[in-house]
Amino acid sequence: MERTDLMTGIEKDWDKFLSLPISQKLPFFSKENRIYDCLFAQQFDRQSLSHLFSVADTLRKFTKKKEGMDFASSLLSHKRAMLYFVQPSTRTFLSFLNACHILGIKTGEIRDTSTSSELKGETPEDTVRTFSSYVDMIIMRHPAPNFVEKTAWLMNRTNRPVPVINGGSGKDQHPTQALLDVYTLHRSFDGNIDGKTIAMVGDLKRGRTVRSLSYLMKNYKNIKLIFISPKEFAMEKDILDFLNKHNMPFYETDNFEEGISQADAIYMTRIQDEHDKSGESKKVDISAFEFKTKHLKIIKQKAIIMHPLPRRTEIDIPVDEDPRAMYWRQERNGMWARAALIAHIFSADGQILKYK
């Protein structure tokens, strides 16, 4: 099905569209073999990941020099983007903002619905439709599940569609975080991600980053996943079903030390208390799932420690000094990975790769 068929049949009805399997939705969100709207981690395959990593690597290298940066910022200087981030964000917002600026894209932002006409009763759908009258791309983070997807769906049905990038929607997906996470694995393991054991630790139930990362790992061979959490925060069944369907071995444990000692990458996460209206999950004791300085002795010599950040008590501050602590580099990788993705969406990636 092509994007031009959007106005026909089932695709007219949002609820019906939402219930379609991802594989059937993907054509609506791509254009001429490129990602157009970036909404789900399942949109990336091994080839596109490897391509985006080359674009990110090339871009970060040549922009070290002024003439390289001048070239990069001329690439998309005719484009404007709106960053609509109505859920707390530091890194994702700043890295997208700076990724746009590296490519010369002019940016506007809304970070609080109380400053937009939503306060006058305008629906969020109308508000985002308004953006498309003024800009060429919408990058958004929203607390409501599927809202970013709905925006892209709506936008594609207007006469001025603009690409939409998901900077985190509800509890379900955070595809560009997964992109930068895998880019970090790629850089840390010299391009050899196949065969690695990845431990994900903490709030696997409500964390969207570990969900998107689990989907992305399907693109690599002989990956083993270890899910380490208290049972209250265990990984959701839909992800476990996905892993089983794709013959990806995993196991779940509440034994933190045993789990992390086997891993090549340890992906720590924060307890997502903001989703807890009842206060029940705040009572769960998570002290046995925190990375203390003493744990540096039991992990593999070449293991890396990752975290999407922000961190609370999951990782002791002195761990930052260890060369295996990768989270600060991981957040910087985010800016380059996102710049590569935006360049790809606007077909500027070829020029980046050709730059001498």
CB of residue 41 to ligand NCD, shortest distance in Å: 13
Q: Reduce the secondary structure of the chain to three states and give it as a string.
A: CCHHHHHCHHHHCHHHHHCCCHHHHHHHHEECCEECCECCHHHCCHHHHHHHHHHHHHHHHHCCCHHHHHHHHHHCCCCEEEEEECCCCCHHHHHHHHHHHHCCCEEEEECCHHHCHHHHCCCHHHHHHHHHHHCCEEEEEECCCCHHHHHHHHHCCCCCCCCEEEEEECCCECHHHHHHHHHHHHHHCCCCCCCCEEEEECCCCCCHHHHHHHHHHCCCCCCEEEEECCHHHCCCHHHHHHHHHCCCCEEEECCHHHHHHCCCEEEECCCCHHHCCCCCHHHCCCHHHCECHHHHHCCCCCCEEECCCCCCCCECHHHHHCCCECHHHHHHHHHHHHHHHHHHHCCCHHHHHHCC
User: Known catalytic residue: 270?
Assistant: no
> Residues 63, 92, 184, 197: which is the catalytic one?
92
Interface residue with ligand NCD, options 63, 92, 184, 197 (CB under 6 A)? 92
CB of residue 216 to ligand NCD, shortest distance in Å: 15
Q: Does 166 bind ligand NCD (CB under 6 A)?
A: no
Q: Does 150 bind ligand NCD (CB under 6 A)?
A: no
User: Known catalytic residue: 160?
Assistant: no
> Residues 31, 91, 101, 275: which is the catalytic one?
91
CB of residue 149 to ligand NCD, shortest distance in Å: 16
CB of residue 164 to ligand NCD, shortest distance in Å: 17
Q: Does 206 bind ligand NCD (CB under 6 A)?
A: no
CA-CA-CA-CA dihedral for 235, 240, 241, 245, to nearest 10: 160
Q: Does 174 bind ligand NCD (CB under 6 A)?
A: yes
Q: Does 177 bind ligand NCD (CB under 6 A)?
A: yes
User: Known catalytic residue: 92?
Assistant: yes
Q: Does 281 bind ligand NCD (CB under 6 A)?
A: no
Interface residue with ligand NCD, options 132, 169, 173, 209 (CB under 6 A)? 209
- 186, 265 contact by CB (below 8 A): no
C-alpha–C-alpha distance, residues 94 and 107, integer Å: 12
Residues in 10-69 that interact with ligand NCD by CB under 6 A: none
Structure tokens at 276: 């807890």
Q: Does 307 bind ligand NCD (CB under 6 A)?
A: no
User: Known catalytic residue: 141?
Assistant: yes
User: Known catalytic residue: 208?
Assistant: no
Q: Does 208 bind ligand NCD (CB under 6 A)?
A: yes
CB of residue 208 to ligand NCD, shortest distance in Å: 5
Interface residue with ligand NCD, options 80, 91, 101, 157 (CB under 6 A)? 91
Nearer to ligand NCD, 156 or 177 (CB): 177
φ/ψ region of 275 (left if φ > 0, alpha if ψ in -120 to 50, else beta) reads alpha
Nearer to ligand NCD, 270 or 295 (CB): 270
Interface residue with ligand NCD, options 25, 81, 308, 319 (CB under 6 A)? 308
Q: Does 156 bind ligand NCD (CB under 6 A)?
A: no
Q: Does 95 bind ligand NCD (CB under 6 A)?
A: no
Task: Number of residues interacting with ligand NCD: please give it, by CB under 6 A.
Answer: 10
Residues annotated as catalytic (active site), given as ranges: 91-92, 120, 141, 174
Interacting residues with ligand NCD (CB under 6 A): 91-92, 168, 174, 177, 208-209, 270, 308-309
